[in-house]
């Protein structure tokens, strides 16, 4: 495994629609392992392959696993999700506003409105079909990461974006 470099918006790969994964070979497995290691090293809660300069439709998601997160997110805290060719197949009507950040846009956060709940289908890292019903922060992270696969960044849909000051606490999704 290796920590990969997270690219920033000046790299055109971030703005392109990623290609569907068609092979679950050892090279792909290495990509997934590297993405997980990169996510944990960053640290963040989500990472899409385009963020490590690979135009493939794969995301990794992992909410924090500290005591506070376990109290708030229960079984979702610390659980690693790997979704290949993910699609949002259902969304709630209820929309919620929240603050998001992005590992590809360090030092900034923005206010983004997203669906409170989503159902995502796709494949696991071995090609087995899977689906998840996510709500709250986990739903926000899935929507944020799937946006990356379509070349969209949170700053494209944010109602407001601002620079973090050194004294600011962790205020949002750091994908």
Structural domain boundaries in the chain: 12-174
pLDDT along the chain (175 residues), means of 10: 94 97 98 97 96 98 87 84 98 98 97 98 98 96 98 97 78 55
**Strand partners of residue 161:** 110
Residue 160 appears among annotated catalytic residues: no
The catalytic position among 76, 145, 160, 167 is 145
Q: What is the pLDDT of residue 24?
A: 98
Task: Compute how many other C-beta atoms are within 10 angstroms of the C-beta atom of residue 116.
Answer: 16
> What is the 8-class DSSP label of residue 74?
G
- The helix or strand, by DSSP H or E, that contains position 162, with its residue range, turns out to be strand 160-163
pLDDT at site 175: 64
Beta pairing, strands 80-91 & 117-123:
antiparallel
C-alpha distance from residue 9 to each of 105, 132, 151, 152, 156 (Å): 7, 29, 10, 10, 12
Q: Which CATH class is domain 12-174?
A: alpha beta
């Amino acid at each position: 495994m290796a920590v990969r470099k997270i690219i920033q918006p000046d790299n055109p790969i971030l703005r392109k629609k990623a290609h569907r994964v068609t092979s679950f070979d050892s090279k792909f497995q290495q990509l997934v392992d590297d993405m997980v290691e990169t996510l944990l090293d960053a640290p963040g809660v989500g990472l899409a392959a385009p963020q490590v300069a690979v135009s493939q439709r794969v995301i990794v998601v992992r909410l924090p696993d500290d005591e506070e997160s376990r109290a708030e997110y229960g079984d979702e805290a610390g659980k690693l999700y790997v979704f290949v060719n993910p699609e949002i197949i259902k969304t709630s009507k209820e929309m919620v506003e929240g603050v998001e950040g992005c590992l590809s846009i360090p030092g900034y956060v923005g206010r983004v409105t997203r669906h409170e709940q989503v159902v995502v289908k796709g494949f696991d890292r071995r090609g087995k079909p899977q689906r998840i019903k996510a709500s709250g922060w986990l739903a926000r992270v899935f929507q944020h990461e799937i946006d990356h696969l379509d070349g969209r960044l949170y700053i494209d849909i944010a109602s407001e974006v601002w620079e973090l000051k050194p004294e600011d606490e962790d205020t949002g999704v750091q994908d």
